[in-house]
């Protein structure tokens, strides 16, 4: 009867067919200068509300799914969720209690002190609820507890970040710290992946196989015993604001490519420049029906970031240049209707194109960007260029050779002396000329005969 019983096979199939957890790390661009331009179309509060809906949908797909949110601010990159518990100096009673409970079985291997220092993924730390009204407490009691904890912690940290930003910082720095946010995301993904491997195989086996796992890199979407990780960047800053972060952004892209972590990018469009709209209205029209020229939204590729396009392409992610409002309805509808359309468009992009995990994307038709801008930023002025000069030693890119810096002082990065000739007009940058090969003359005998011998009769 033991041979006929198939309960063991059913247990093995259920254990092997269980879906591995997915870690979604969201990098949200909180650049105040860019959001001030997008405020008439889409507000920050509306964007945060739809991002919370997207997070809840991701957590509802699998009970083991995890999420993390990082704010890319104008002067720093800060965690929105999860955040570390507030550190307070322990009292004498707490010290004595912790010394007695260091080796307690309930505390685990980390102990109470180390566990409090780590970021708590559930955000389960005490908050002051005295200022909350009875209506808000009743509304929060009807929410699913994990969703409510994430919402409260994210909004609380975002308000703290905005209130701590001084006006002087807004005037001095108008860019966003995408490079720092990517570094925080990679560090968090690495730590969570190690913790997940330790929970499956144990600490001893994970340390023994760490060197072997680093040598062999396979696709994480097809491994059932690994944590599926991905990064979603929601940004609205143009590529000119990220040129000074070219090197750390590219290093993060190469790290994600090595670890098989896809980077998805949702580029929110900025409103058009008022100077360009004035020039369009000043131009004469040829058709009578188009006498009144209305301003239209810019094309998605005009404000999209160059480096994030390369990040999505190199890591096999998704790059979506979002169109929040249709161009034809920008002047015919009131601002309230346009904001409603923009918020609905943002939620549609999040739930339809960016919700599927990397394991399910091979079975779907994901949106792809056909034309990718592969321009780079120069190392001398941090400008995005399409034609420049590359050092043959360290591969640094330079855009300006008017002062003959490379020929006299050497490379600005590695200091190597480069033999550059004819720098200036008529030298570098001119069209190369292909020199034709000289034809060899055939030699003839003195008698006038050819070099080919007479065949002998058989």
Is a pLDDT exceeding 60 seen at residue 377?
yes
State the average pLDDT over residues 401-405: 54
Q: Give per-residue pLDDT as tens, 406-447.
A: 667 778 778 777 666 554 544 555 566 677 777 777 776 666
Give one DSSP letter per residue of 323-361, joined into a string: --S-GGGTTTS-HHHHHHHHHHHHHHHHHHTSSS-TTTG
pLDDT bucket at 273, cuts 50 / 70 / 90:
low
Task: Write out the H or E segment, with its range, that includes residue 229.
Answer: strand 228-235
What is d(CA 66, CA 387) in angstroms, rounded to the nearest whole number? 43
Angle between helices 246-259 and 306-314 (to 10 degrees): 10
Name the 3-class secondary structure at 93.
Answer: helix
What is d(CA 399, CA 420) in angstroms, rounded to the nearest whole number? 15
- Please choose, from the candidates 231, 230, 236, the residue with its C-alpha nearest in 3D space to the C-alpha of residue 321: 236
pLDDT bucket at 201, cuts 50 / 70 / 90:
confident
pLDDT of residue 26: 97
The answer to whether 308 and 235 have CB atoms below 8 angstroms apart is yes
Q: Residue ranges per domain, the chain?
A: 19-84+119-128+136-282+300-363, 378-427
Is a pLDDT exceeding 80 seen at residue 122?
no
What is d(CA 196, CA 189) in angstroms, rounded to the nearest whole number? 10
Name every residue whose Cβ is closer than 8 Å to that of residue 198 and which is 6 or more positions away in sequence: 206
Least confident of 61-65, 91-95, 143-147: 91-95
Q: Hey, what are 146's tokens?
A: 């994990």
* CA 120 to chain centroid: 23
Bridge partners (DSSP) listed for residue 389: 398
The whole-chain average pLDDT of the chain stands at 74
Backbone φ and ψ for 397, nearest 5 degrees, come out as: -110, 135
pLDDT bucket at 229, cuts 50 / 70 / 90:
very high
Is a pLDDT exceeding 70 seen at residue 70?
yes
State the average pLDDT over residues 192-216: 68
Name the 3-class secondary structure at 365.
Answer: coil
C-alpha dist (Å) from residue 249 to 173, 196, 318? 18, 27, 17
pLDDT bucket at 452, cuts 50 / 70 / 90:
low
Q: How many CA atoms lie within 13 A of 260 on its CB side?
A: 15
Kindly indicate whether the domain formed by 19-84+119-128+136-282+300-363 is annotated with CATH number 3.40.50.410.
yes
- On whether the pTM is more than 0.85, the answer is no
Least confident of 79-83, 251-255, 371-375: 371-375
What is d(CA 244, CA 225) in angstroms, rounded to the nearest whole number? 39
pLDDT of residue 275: 46
Least confident of 72-76, 220-224, 356-360: 220-224
Q: Position of tokens 């390369």?
A: 310
Of these ranges, 91-105, 107-121, 292-306, 426-440, the one predicted with the greatest mean pLDDT is 426-440
Of these ranges, 232-236, 328-332, 375-379, the one predicted with the greatest mean pLDDT is 232-236
pLDDT of residue 287: 39
C-alpha dist (Å) from residue 16 to 9, 20, 223? 11, 10, 11
Name every residue whose Cβ is closer than 8 Å to that of residue 59 and which is 6 or more positions away in sequence: 65, 67, 146, 147, 150
pLDDT of residue 266: 94
Give one DSSP letter per residue of 161-207, joined into a string: HHHT--HHHHHH--S--HHHHHHHHHHHHHHHHHHHHHHHH-HHHHH
Is a pLDDT exceeding 80 seen at residue 332?
no
Give one DSSP letter per residue of 23-73, joined into a string: EEEEEEE--HHHHHHHTTT--HHHHHHHHHHHHHHHHHH-TT-EEEEEEE-
Higher pLDDT pick, 328 / 411: 411
Of these ranges, 97-106, 174-183, 272-281, the one predicted with the greatest mean pLDDT is 174-183
């Amino acid at each position: 009867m033991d041979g006929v019983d198939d309960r063991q096979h059913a247990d093995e199939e259920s254990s092997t067919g269980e879906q591995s957890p997915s870690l979604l790390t969201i990098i949200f661009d909180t650049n105040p200068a860019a959001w001030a331009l997008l405020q008439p179309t889409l507000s920050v509060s509306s964007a945060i509300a739809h991002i919370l809906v997207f997070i809840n949908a991701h957590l509802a797909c699998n009970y083991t799914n995890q999420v993390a949110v990082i704010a890319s601010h104008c002067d720093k990159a800060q965690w929105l969720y999860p955040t570390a518990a507030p550190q307070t100096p322990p009292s004498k009673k707490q010290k004595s209690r912790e010394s007695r409970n260091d080796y307690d079985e309930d505390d685990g291997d980390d102990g109470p002190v180390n566990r409090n220092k780590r970021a708590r993924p559930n955000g389960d730390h005490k908050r002051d609820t005295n200022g909350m009204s009875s209506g808000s407490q009743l509304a929060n009691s009807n929410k699913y507890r994990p969703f409510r904890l994430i919402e409260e912690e994210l909004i609380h940290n975002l308000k703290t970040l905005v209130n701590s930003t001084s006006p002087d910082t807004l005037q001095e720095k108008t860019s966003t710290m995408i490079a720092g946010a990517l570094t925080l995301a990679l560090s968090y993904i690495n730590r969570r992946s190690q913790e997940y491997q330790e929970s499956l195989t144990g600490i001893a086996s994970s340390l023994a196989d760490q060197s072997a796992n680093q040598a062999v890199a396979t696709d994480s979407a097809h491994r059932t015993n690994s944590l599926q990780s991905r990064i979603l960047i929601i940004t609205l800053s143009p590529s000119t604001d990220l040129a000074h972060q070219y090197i750390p952004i590219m290093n993060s892209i190469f790290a994600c490519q090595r670890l098989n972590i896809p980077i998805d990018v949702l580029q929110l469009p900025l409103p058009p420049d008022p100077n360009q709209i004035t020039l369009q209205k000043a131009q004469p029209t040829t058709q009578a029906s188009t006498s009144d020229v209305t301003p239209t939204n810019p094309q998605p590729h005009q404000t999209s970031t160059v480096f994030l396009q390369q990040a999505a392409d190199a890591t096999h992610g998704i790059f979506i240049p979002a169109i929040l409002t249709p161009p034809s309805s920008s002047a015919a509808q009131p601002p309230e209707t346009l904001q409603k359309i923009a918020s609905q468009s943002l939620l549609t992009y999040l739930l339809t194109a960016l919700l599927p995990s990397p394991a399910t994307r091979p079975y779907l038709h994901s949106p792809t960007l056909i034309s990718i801008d592969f321009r780079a930023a120069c190392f001398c002025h941090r400008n995005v260029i399409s034609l420049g000069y590359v050092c043959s030693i360290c591969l640094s890119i330079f855009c300006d050779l008017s002062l003959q810096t490379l020929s006299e002082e050497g490379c600005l990065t590695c200091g190597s002396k480069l033999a550059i000739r004819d720098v200036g007009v008529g030298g570098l940058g001119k069209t190369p000329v292909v020199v034709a090969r000289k034809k060899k003359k055939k030699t003839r005998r003195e008698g006038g005969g050819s070099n080919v011998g007479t065949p002998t009769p058989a």
